[in-house]
Structure 1
Amino acid sequence: MTPKFVVSSFITLALLLWQPAVLGLTLTTPIPTFKEIHPLSAEQALLNAEKFTQQAYSESQGFSAQTYWHKLTFAESALEQENNFHLKLNYYVIEHLDFYLFHGDQLINHWKRGALDDWHTDTEYYDGIWIPLQLSSHQNTTLLIRKQGNSPLLTPFELLNAKDTLEKKQYQPIFWSVIISSLLILLTHNVFVFALLRQPGFLYYLALNIVILIALSAITGFNRWIFPESVSQWVIRQLFLVFGIGAWILFRFSVHFLKEIHIPAPQSIIRRYGDWIFVIFLISTQLLSVKTSALGFALIEVFMFIICTYWGVKAYAKGFLAVRFYLFSWFFLIVGSILNTLIFWKVLPINPITESIFPVACLLQLLSFSFAFADKAKQIETNRQQQALIDQPTGLPNRTYYFDQLPIHLANLNHSYNQPHNDPELALIIIDITNHRALSQAFGPAKADTAMVEIIEHIHQKTAEMNGLLSFPLPNKTLKKIIRISTQNILLISTTPALIKTQIQFIQHTLDYSTLVNNIHFRHQYKIGSALYPSQGANLDKLYQNALIAKNSVTYSSGNWLPFTDNLKNNHAHQLHLITQLTNDIQQEALYFDIQPQVDLLTRQIIGGEVLVRWNNDKLGQVSPAEFIPLAEQTGLIYKLTDLLLEKVFQWAHQHPHALLNKRLSINISALDLLQEDFAHRVSLLIQRHRLSPQTFTIEITETSVFQNNAIVHDNVKQLHQAGFKLAIDDFGVGYSSMQNLVALQTDELKIDQFFIMSLLEDAQSQILCRNMIDLSKALNIISVAEGIESEGILQLLQDWHCQVGQGYHLYRPMSPADYLALLNKKVPPLSTPTNRA
């Protein structure tokens, strides 16, 4: 129904526009005009006939804050046949407009018809600005027109006889009715369309059309027909504010319409700061003159025309076919808007055709955007089907393709080789680009993802030239040789397993290509695993699993690539068994802890101890923390393990309060624990429940790379400090610990890793580093703790450097809590001779 109505509306508009432009006499020649210097009454202006000149007419048609008078004189000799005429004005935004009709020197009538004048009571039915001219048959008739305002003082007059006036008055409401009804019906239709499709930009679209309706009402004159007097006058005063809002809404609508194809790019300057152009313009409309605002809006129109056309063409080039109607709609709207602006600047005259350009452009825009959204919905559905199989950033097959479509492709491949029962020999190669997390922390997730896409596309370009790799057909009729299985994992399938070593060497060479991120050349780190089909995986699921096992088994000592073997499978099975047993024993609370005493190296007195988690499994026996702690972190068991350890330590400390008398206990936690939002709160509640003092506990943290710019970690650290806990960086100097974390964690202790301590007597570099770390602790007023003291010589050297606290087998070995209590109860003398050591 709507399309039929729109078509009929356009036919009606066409018929209206193809009427003769002038039904009577158009006053196109300059009219006698003069500029008012001092306020004059109509009678005074009539008496100053010599001031009216045709030369001043041109000046009176532009932007001006001056007041101008026009004079139309009708001689009595021209009135023999008819003496009733109407003067029609086709421009409706002059703020103050007065018409004075004189017969001779007698004022017959006065009409106020300015946009800001109150003239609603002067007419029962509003159909435009019509001034009835009843001419005198025995003396000259003069019409004086006084106009003043900040907008262009355009006065395109038409003089019509009674018959033509009737026809013209019938034409005007029809013209307005067609515009309003077309806008409203199209808008209503699109509301239902958008409610069903729920496309981005929906609200912007509705707001745009509301603004267009308001702007059209002022431009074409029907604002007094549909709006109250106060609303009409506000629109006139803020006309360029309304225009500016409409332009900004159109900008935001365009951004949302093209959002799916990343036009403009999220990081582009226009995407990030484009809104400010409109904000500045909107503010300027309240501070600057109307003429300046008009000039600024003209520049915005040019700006919008350039960028939106560029975006549309670019989107079409990327295959976004829905943009065809968007470009069509945009072209008509902006051209109509620009032509309408040219009327303001007197480049185009005002007549029934030119005043209809913008309304027709708006109607075409509405209709085209409706088609554009329908086209977009259709394309989105098509894209959605493709997106299920395609990774959008790279255009490569994705995980779903591997598990759903690749088996079908392999089956077809077998038939094409006439091998319905004999599977071809293949090799699955999986590549894990492992530094995505480091890139995210260094440059942000967006740039890290961009770097990933760049290296993957580079690999794809290089491997496209290789023979012996399986090609994957996609729904868009393209062939790819890489599947992107996750953000940082890609895989290839070799059809020549005998050449896999050469192929992987080529891939490794390609991976050594450096990526430019923030003007920094960044070389990627990676792991590669492979598995053979069908010997090491009879289906794609098993093949993928075994290739993952191989990839995850890669270590620095093994190089970047490992093929799957039975030994790797056994190691993987062992890890799974460990995880299963660890899960059960954490649930059963079967893990326990030992304590290794810590000694004040100045007095050699025991000042506390470090809590060390232990695991003795019924089936596995004693398992080293170095083996099960990393597994717990990888599988998420670390959170339950930390909770269990804290509960057991606090419960024991509550039962043996004298163990903390002038002593401290240090508890190791994982850095991952601090990434839980409620970690500090839970620890505080737990220690309160056991009625313990947080001041007697130190929390030690290792692997602090996750701390950089992490608000959750910083909040947990702040809460732990406020509660009274001390914090220490464990194993300082190795792994991911950094100087920055000394500040970020508000560190109370710095534990020097045993890697440096154990080689102090033989390694000069370790001596330099260790001594500097001790000096750094002094400078920062934090406690230095040396781990791994294994000999008296090392102990003496640390004392000479004024290290404050030490622990190690030369002092005390880790012991059970009961033995630790017994040691404290012995009241042993300070460690001065080897006989004092336990």
Structure 2
Amino acid sequence: MMFRCVFLFLLITSLPWSQNAFSVKPTKVTLGELPTLKETLLSSPQDILLSDQFEENIYGESQSFSDYAYWHKLVFPEASKQQKNENFVLGLNYYVIENLDFYLFHGNQLQKHWTRGALQDWQGDTEHYNGIWIPITLSSEKSTTLLIRKQGNSPLLTPFKLFSTQEATTQKENKLLFWVFIISSLLILLAHNIFVFILLRQPGFVYYLGLNVIILIALSVITGFSRWVFSEEISQWLIRNLFTVFGIGTWILYRFSVQFLKEVQIPSPDSFIRKYGDSIFIIFLLLVQIVSVKTSASLFAAIEVFLFIVCTYWGANAYLKGFIAVRFYLFSWIILMVGSILNTMIFWKILPINPITEAILPVCSLLQLLGFSFAFADKANHIEQKRQLQAITDPSTGLPNRTYYFDTLPLQLNEMNKNQPQFALIMIEITSHLKLSQAFGPAKADSALCEVILSTHQKIIEMDGILSLLLPNKSTKKLMRLTSKNIVLLSTTPDEIKEQVQQIQQILDHPTIVDKVLFRHQYKIGSAIYPSQGSNLDKLYQNALIASNSVTYSSGNWAPFTHKLKSNHAHQLRLITLLTDDIRQEKLYFDIQPQVNLADNRIVGGEVLIRWNNEHLGQVSPAEFIPLAEQTGLIYKLTDMLLEKVFQWASSNPVALLAQRLSINISALDLLQENFAERVNILLKQYRLSAEKFTIEITETSVFQKSEIVGHNVKKLHDAGFELSIDDFGVGYSSMQNLVALEINELKIDQFFVMNLMTDTQSQTLCRNMINLSKDLNIISVAEGIESEDILNLLRQWHCQVGQGYHLYRPMSTLQYLTLLEERDQPLSPSINRA
């Protein structure tokens, strides 16, 4: 602080302060309790001068809140020859006193009148603001008396101080330098923070700017500087509504705190103070318009303390949440509120006013601006850290993403490889995501997928032997999400990878609820070991992906990488490329396998079987290319091409549908397409065919319950006249649910059970029960894979209705099928009851 205070006390005579005799010139003296008079009737200064009702015991009363006017008297004896023509200067700390008058008397003669009240005209006798300084010229012939009249609701902050002329000049200069330093520093720091805001566009800065404007206004009002900053009308309005201004400043500080801490959701939107904080300040602003100044001061003090506690609590919680920028916010906030509370304590005369306490609020205001400068810089770093974190993490789960895997993880592995020569990459692919999206919509599918990923991560966090991944915010994860459906982790104990995968499978096998339906996710797990199966992360991920793609639902959910798999994968890529070209050129064709009524051996229909004979590969089995088509999305074009070819052939050969039906296989994924049924019906009408002659066989690989898209397609197909059949019943997923969801007309018993009927009693039981189930549901039972006469006889004995298999007829070309129909001379209607 830039004050120079030289404490040299005046030698005081033994006379009491009522006489106030000075034998020597004072350098500086602080006056204690002065003789005081309470004004009950309006009186002139001359009358007050002659009054004998001055008492020292009511001095304390005069310094507090009161509606009365009070007079104070200072009496100086005649000046000696040494003090002739010498002056004293009375100094007073200004603190919003509405009416303050000084009257200087020599004897009974009024020499000078000064007005220094906040609501008074100072008569233009000051060139600039330098405080309240009253020059006192001692008379050499008569006693000198100074009367001070104070009137207003605010307390008069004392003590009064007497200075020599030289010391008063020094005090004025020091005070001016102090305020120039404070105001200049405040403006410079405020300009700096405005510049930071322009660069960073941080939310809540408008509140921060408003807060500091209020602080500058409050300081100018408290010190009296407002008289030289604002017009007389504005200055007096500010003084009359000082607690309104303070209340607005406190509300702005509350709003600024809410915005500054918004990054970490503090305070909670549901908290009481967040919901009703604005209302509390509105009520306060309304109350200060109707209550006394003393009550307003009490309410403001309560709000200060309440806000101090609340915002300090918020800041501490934000820091515990890892919001580092809040440390300087807390510093600035506490400094400002401590300064404000201490200044309020001065106003209430709990603290004395002196150069130190007088400087508390301006210095705290300066420190809070400086602190918020650091807070903004910290927040800028936090925003940059958050940006970096967002760049390397998945927004839905907060897990490290693909960028982290390829850019950040290699640096960590370089350090790890010094002590850990081997590790294993485990890759998990959630294969049911696409089906979920088609069945329930992408939003619910993403939510369900995130749920299972986070559950898996929670399990992995508890596992030993898994590499911890450090993020910029100092948090650690153990799982990475490289694509929407692919997650990976690194095992630092490759020898235990089997046990680790089993623990992960326990989580993945646990069903989740999607749209109030229990759903069991389908997944594949692949693994590869560093460095033997991949010398870098790119190769390692590639090989783990190859391993996961080799997984079949009949072989389990996990496959470790082998070099044989890599050669198979290259073959699959070639298959996909050639299949894409041949579908586009419509080079695929179909055969038909006759279906027989087991009661009388009549041919009642045929199953359409797609075939692919590639010029480079030769004949390719459907068991090899159909799963690839489903994985790559080619199945949709394949189904469209097959339907077109079958309808075109049937239209050209109506004899094939005179007494028989055709069964066409589609993928379960087809029913999850919007408008699939509409496209089929349009194509059927184009070739002028009847839907009653066709059965749509759906390979059972998905769950359809409560899927609006599937329900819509099923209804449209039934309405058009198609019959629906479940193919390979018993080896898929949730078979009983699909019986209801698809409203099927036919159930095809998978050949796995049929071919083992003569050697496996369990297959006999299951097959017989499926036939009985069909009877109970009034649907047709079809057994495929009949390879011997014994099996055929057993199925007849159980009253299975329709059969197909090599023992009856092998798949044949369309021309052979037509020839067969002509040779068998089929009747016009089959004997089987399809009602």
Give deviations 1:239-282, integer Å, cap 9, x for gaps: 22332333333344444445545555666555555455444434
1:394 & 1:756 partners in 2: Cα distance? 33
Aligned counterpart in structure 2 of residue 25 of structure 1, from 20, 29, 48: 29
- The structure where helix makes up a greater share of residues is 1
Give deviations 1:474-524, integer Å, cap 9, x for gaps: 6788865322447897432345667555324423556799999xxx9x999
Which residue of structure 2 aligns with residue 203 of structure 1? 206
The higher radius of gyration belongs to 2
Structure 2 matches for 1:804-819, cutoff 5 A?
Answer: none
Alignment check: 8 A CA contact 1:98 1:111 kept: yes
Q: Structure 1 residues 579, 377: closer, same or farther in 2, change over 3 A?
A: farther
2:175 & 2:569 partners in 1: Cα distance? 86
State the one-letter code of the partner of 1:159.
L
Give deviations 1:268-308, integer Å, cap 9, x for gaps: 55555545544443444334433233223323332343344
State the one-letter code of the partner of 2:361.
F
Per the alignment, in what secondary structure is the counterpart of residue 246 of structure 1?
helix
1:118: how far off? 3.2
Aligned counterpart in structure 1 of residue 426 of structure 2, from 425, 428, 432: 428
Aligned counterpart in structure 2 of residue 173 of structure 1, from 176, 183, 196: 176
Which residue of structure 2 aligns with residue 599 of structure 1? none
Q: Structure 1 residues 504, 292: closer, same or farther in 2, change over 3 A?
A: farther
Q: Structure 1 residues 388, 34: closer, same or farther in 2, change over 3 A?
A: same
1:454: how far off? 7.3
Aligned counterpart in structure 2 of residue 53 of structure 1, from 52, 55, 67: 55
Alignment check: 8 A CA contact 2:101 2:113 kept: yes
1:342: how far off? 0.8
Q: Structure 1 residues 398, 103: closer, same or farther in 2, change over 3 A?
A: same
Alignment check: 8 A CA contact 1:69 1:144 kept: no
Which residue of structure 2 aligns with residue 507 of structure 1? 504
Which residue of structure 2 aligns with residue 149 of structure 1? 152
Percentage identity across paired residues of the two chains:
50
Question: Gaps (5+ residues) in structure 1?
Answer: 1-12, 419-423, 586-612, 653-701, 706-727, 733-752, 761-789, 795-836
Q: Structure 1 residues 365, 405: closer, same or farther in 2, change over 3 A?
A: closer
1:542: how far off? 7.6
Which residue of structure 1 aligns with residue 461 of structure 2? 461
Which residue of structure 2 aligns with residue 183 of structure 1? 186
1:288 & 1:163 partners in 2: Cα distance? 45
1:582 & 1:254 partners in 2: Cα distance? 65
1:151: how far off? 3.1
1:87 & 1:448 partners in 2: Cα distance? 80
1:50 & 1:403 partners in 2: Cα distance? 94
1:382 & 1:488 partners in 2: Cα distance? 27
Judge which range, 41-50 or 148-157, deviates more. 41-50
Aligned counterpart in structure 1 of residue 226 of structure 2, from 223, 227, 230: 223
1:486 & 1:129 partners in 2: Cα distance? 74
1:429: how far off? 3.6
Structure 2 matches for 1:526-605, cutoff 5 A?
Answer: 529-532=525-528
If the length of structure 2 is used for normalisation, what is the TM-score? 0.58
Alignment check: 8 A CA contact 2:385 2:472 kept: no
Q: Structure 1 residues 395, 358: closer, same or farther in 2, change over 3 A?
A: same
Is 2:479 aligned against 1:482? yes
1:143 & 1:439 partners in 2: Cα distance? 88
1:337 & 1:368 partners in 2: Cα distance? 16
Question: Gaps (5+ residues) in structure 2?
Answer: 10-25, 586-636, 647-663, 686-705, 716-737, 746-774, 780-833
Alignment check: 8 A CA contact 2:87 2:138 kept: yes
Judge which range, 171-180 or 139-148, deviates more. 139-148
Alignment check: 8 A CA contact 2:301 2:341 kept: yes
Which residue of structure 2 aligns with residue 162 of structure 1? 165
Which residue of structure 1 aligns with residue 70 of structure 2? 69
Is 2:637 aligned against 1:617? no
Aligned pair count reads 616
1:74: how far off? 1.5
1:583 & 1:141 partners in 2: Cα distance? 117
Per the alignment, in what secondary structure is the counterpart of residue 353 of structure 1?
helix
Per the alignment, in what secondary structure is the counterpart of residue 178 of structure 2?
helix
Alignment check: 8 A CA contact 1:427 1:496 kept: no
Alignment check: 8 A CA contact 2:460 2:504 kept: no
Q: Structure 1 residues 631, 219: closer, same or farther in 2, change over 3 A?
A: same
Give deviations 1:155-210, integer Å, cap 9, x for gaps: 43223343333333333322322222222222223333443444444434333322
1:486 & 1:341 partners in 2: Cα distance? 59
Aligned counterpart in structure 1 of residue 370 of structure 2, from 364, 367, 371: 367
1:558 & 1:363 partners in 2: Cα distance? 72
Is 2:14 aligned against 1:14? no
Q: Structure 1 residues 399, 240: closer, same or farther in 2, change over 3 A?
A: farther
Alignment check: 8 A CA contact 2:93 2:157 kept: no
Q: Structure 1 residues 754, 480: closer, same or farther in 2, change over 3 A?
A: closer
Alignment check: 8 A CA contact 2:524 2:557 kept: yes
Per the alignment, in what secondary structure is the counterpart of residue 2 of structure 2?
helix
Per the alignment, in what secondary structure is the counterpart of residue 234 of structure 1?
helix
State the one-letter code of the partner of 1:72.
K
State the one-letter code of the partner of 2:479.
I
Is 2:355 aligned against 1:344? no
State the one-letter code of the partner of 2:29.
L
Is 2:401 aligned against 1:398? yes
1:731: how far off? 7.8
Aligned counterpart in structure 1 of residue 252 of structure 2, from 238, 249, 252: 249
Q: Structure 1 residues 252, 77: closer, same or farther in 2, change over 3 A?
A: same
1:269 & 1:207 partners in 2: Cα distance? 25
State the one-letter code of the partner of 1:125.
H
Structure 1 vs Structure 2 CA RMSD? 5.8
1:380 & 1:78 partners in 2: Cα distance? 71
1:793: how far off? 11
Give deviations 1:193-247, integer Å, cap 9, x for gaps: 4434444444343333222211111122222233322332232223223323333
Alignment check: 8 A CA contact 2:39 2:71 kept: no
1:43 & 1:411 partners in 2: Cα distance? 91
Which residue of structure 1 aligns with residue 289 of structure 2? 286
Is 2:155 aligned against 1:131? no
Which residue of structure 2 aligns with residue 34 of structure 1? 38
State the one-letter code of the partner of 1:616.
D
Alignment check: 8 A CA contact 1:33 1:70 kept: yes
State the one-letter code of the partner of 1:292.
T
Q: Structure 1 residues 561, 260: closer, same or farther in 2, change over 3 A?
A: farther
1:76 & 1:486 partners in 2: Cα distance? 95
Q: Structure 1 residues 154, 68: closer, same or farther in 2, change over 3 A?
A: farther
2:270 & 2:578 partners in 1: Cα distance? 46
1:18 & 1:730 partners in 2: Cα distance? 97
1:101: how far off? 3.9
1:579 & 1:87 partners in 2: Cα distance? 104
Alignment check: 8 A CA contact 2:79 2:138 kept: no
2:8 & 2:92 partners in 1: Cα distance? 16
Which residue of structure 1 aligns with residue 813 of structure 2? none
Is 2:357 aligned against 1:354? yes
1:93: how far off? 0.6
Give deviations 1:30-85, integer Å, cap 9, x for gaps: 4413154x5x1334861783544333322222233x02212214154467635643
Is 2:347 aligned against 1:335? no
